[in-house]
């Protein structure tokens, strides 16, 4: 499944466990999932809207 979670500091999911965090004085963003469940495991993609788009994929494993 593909779901849009966040854009910038705005969260687009009704699941309140997901939160985008912007680090002050930085261009860095973090995706916080709290608390996690086994169902949260899988691939997450961060994308920057450039031409072509820049992508970074992370595989989250929940033990």
Question: Is 61 a residue whose pLDDT tops 90?
Answer: yes
22 in a structural domain: yes
Total count of domains within the chain: 1
Neighbouring CB atoms inside 10 A of 5's CB total 15
The pLDDT tens digits of the residues spanning 7-41 come to 988 889 999 999 999 988 998 889 999 999 999 99
Question: Is 1 a residue whose pLDDT tops 80?
Answer: no
1 in a structural domain: no
Q: pLDDT category, 2, cuts 50, 70, 90?
A: confident
12 in a structural domain: yes
| Strand-strand pairing, 42-48 and 10-11 | unpaired
Domain span holding position 33: 6-60
CATH number (domain holding residue 21): 2.60.40.10
């Amino acid at each position: 499944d593909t779901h849009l979670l966040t854009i910038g500091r705005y969260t687009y999911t009704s699941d309140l466990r997901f939160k985008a965090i912007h680090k002050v004085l930085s261009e860095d963003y973090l995706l916080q999932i709290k608390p996690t469940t086994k169902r949260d495991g899988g691939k997450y993609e961060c994308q920057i809207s450039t031409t072509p788009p820049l992508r970074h994929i992370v595989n989250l494993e929940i033990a």
